Structure formats: structure tokens, C-alpha cells
């Protein structure tokens, strides 16, 4: 049984209507704008603040820079933007939702924002409240380690996420389970990458980080200089910023 031309046109019209309705709904639920278009004057910035109450309930969530989530230190109200060398490095596309949330920024992104006392400010606000974060821009990759409460003979179960901002990076975001060993708190850590097999058995997860030889054991050190097979990263543990560390291969002992 075939549809008549009239019925085909009606069906096509319904499909198009549903498609445009979905596009419209997605548009209402999220907004996208260039960073530079969200910069406001000092007068408007102060006006937003004076007509609203500061609320920590208004959080920097569901907001991306160039389609990537940012690392946030909620305790210190700081957002960390790891920049990729591209035409949008200083003017990223920002997408945010829900629809009632608005964003205001007080200045452009520049290289000197890497300096500790020269942060730009990002304000999230709605009709009644606002909340302000500092934005730190960095040329380093970002390593996030989320620790679990258990401690198995000095090793702690962790979830590891690495954002590799190298322009030639094949895998921009790397995630893995692992175990962490604290050699010296705030100075040196070691972690092993783990993955689960189909039978839910854990085994070594050999991954190449920053083009280093594939393996599962890595070390993180508070070092001022880099050795072979090391690279600087901004380190976060349980979403708390720890500082700049070197990430490298843990050398295996030859027996």
C-alpha cells in the first residue's frame, strides 16, 4: 500500500514541523555566544550587582568553552581555562544553559591573565541573584584526580581525567580509573591506570599520555624543571587546585 502525494506532503510537513520544534526547544534550553560578545561595561557590571543578591546557589554548571567543560574550584570560586592554540584561543565559543541564566564578563582574555593577580571575572546571573568567579587562563594541560575514601595499603582508588590542550592531540579528553599512591603530600604522587574487562575484572590500562611510551604507571612531581618524558600540568585533586606539577613516566626497575 503506497501513500498518495497529498498524504506524503502532510507527513513531510509533520516531520519538518517536529524537526524545527526540536531545534527551537534546544535553542531555548541552551545559548551559545562568543566570549567577546559577553564582555560588558563597568557601568552595566555594577548595575547587575546593585540590583541583585549574591548567591552561591548559582553555580558555573553546564557551561562549556569551545565545547569543552572547564575545571572549577568551587571553594575558591576560580575557573580554569586550558587554551588550545587556535583562532578561537582568545575568543572561545561559550555555551550555557538553562535559558534563564545569563553571563557577563569584565575583560578580554590575554596572555598576562596567567599572572596570579590579574584574573578576569565572570558573572553568572538571573533576575534576582548573581555569583562571580575568577577566570584563570593556562597554556598547560589540566589533570584532575578524584579520590575515593578507601585506602588499600597506601593506595587509593581514583578516577583520572586529563585535558590535553596540545594542538596536535589525538584524544583531547582522557579518562581512566586508577589507584593513587601519595609519596609525599603536595610534592610527589604516583598513579596506576586501571580498566575493567568484560567480566568486571580489573587489569592494567596501558595508555600513551602526551605521546610518551604506552604504560599504566605515571608519576606527578612538584618540580621546577622537566626531565625526559615529562610535561607540566595544572593538577587538581578532588576539584581543589594544587598547582603546576610535572607528569611523567614512572621508571620501572630492571631486575
At which of 88, 114, 138 does a domain end? 138
Together in a domain, 44 and 75: yes
**pLDDT (tens digit per residue) in 6-22:** 666 676 666 766 665 55
Q: Does residue 6 lie in a domain region? A: no
Number of structural domains found in the chain: 2
Q: Does residue 26 lie in a domain region? A: no
Nearest CA-CA partner of 92 in 80, 103, 84, 102: 84
Q: Does residue 126 lie in a domain region? A: yes
Together in a domain, 76 and 106: yes
Q: Looking at per-residue confidence, does 76 or 62 come out higher?
A: 76
Indicate the length of the chain as a whole number: 255
Give me the domain span that covers residue 125. 31-138
- pLDDT band at 152, cuts 50/70/90? low
**pLDDT (tens digit per residue) in 26-66:** 444 467 899 999 999 999 999 999 999 999 887 777 789 99
Together in a domain, 52 and 131: yes
Return the residue matching grid coordinates 571553594.
75
Q: Which residues are bridge partners to 80 per DSSP?
A: 71, 136
Together in a domain, 134 and 146: no
Q: Chain-wide mean pLDDT for the chain?
A: 84
* CATH code assigned at 71: 2.60.40
Q: Looking at per-residue confidence, does 135 or 111 come out higher?
A: 135
Model pTM?
Answer: 0.80
DSSP for residue 18:
H
Together in a domain, 153 and 121: no
**pLDDT (tens digit per residue) in 210-237:** 888 888 889 999 988 888 889 999 999 9
Together in a domain, 85 and 168: no
Amino acid at each position: 500500500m503506497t501513500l498518495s502525494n497529498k498524504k506524503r506532503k502532510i507527513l513531510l510537513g509533520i516531520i519538518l514541523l517536529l524537526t524545527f520544534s526540536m531545534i527551537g526547544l534546544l535553542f531555548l534550553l541552551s545559548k551559545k555566544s562568543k566570549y567577546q560578545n559577553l564582555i560588558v561595561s563597568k557601568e552595566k557590571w555594577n548595575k547587575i550587582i546593585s540590583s541583585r543578591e549574591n548567591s552561591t546557589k548559582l553555580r558555573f554548571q553546564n557551561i562549556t568553552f569551545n565545547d569543552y567543560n572547564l575545571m572549577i574550584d568551587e571553594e575558591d570560586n576560580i575557573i580554569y581555562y586550558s587554551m588550545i592554540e587556535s583562532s578561537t584561543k582568545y575568543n572561545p565559543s561559550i555555551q550555557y544553559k538553562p535559558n534563564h541564566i545569563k553571563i557577563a564578563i569584565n575583560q578580554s582574555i590575554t596572555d598576562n591573565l596567567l599572572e596570579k593577580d590579574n584574573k578576569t571575572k565572570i558573572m553568572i546571573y538571573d533576575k534576582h541573584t548573581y555569583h562571580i568567579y575568577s577566570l584563570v587562563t593556562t597554556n598547560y594541560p589540566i589533570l584532575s584526580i578524584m579520590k575515593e575514601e578507601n585506602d588499600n595499603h597506601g593506595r587509593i582508588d581514583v578516577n583520572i581525567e586529563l585535558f590535553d590542550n596540545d594542538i596536535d592531540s589525538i584524544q583531547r579528553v582522557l579518562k581512566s580509573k586508577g589507584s593513587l599512591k601519595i609519596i609525599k603530600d603536595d610534592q610527589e604522587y604516583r598513579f596506576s591506570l586501571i580498566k575493567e574487562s568484560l567480566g568486571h575484572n580489573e587489569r592494567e590500562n596501558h595508555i600513551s599520555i602526551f605521546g610518551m611510551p604506552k604504560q599504566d604507571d605515571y608519576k606527578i612531581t612538584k618540580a621546577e624543571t622537566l626531565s625526559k618524558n615529562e610535561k607540566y600540568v595544572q593538577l587538581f585533586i578532588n576539584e581543589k587546585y594544587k598547582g603546576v606539577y610535572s607528569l611523567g613516566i614512572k621508571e620501572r626497575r630492571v631486575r
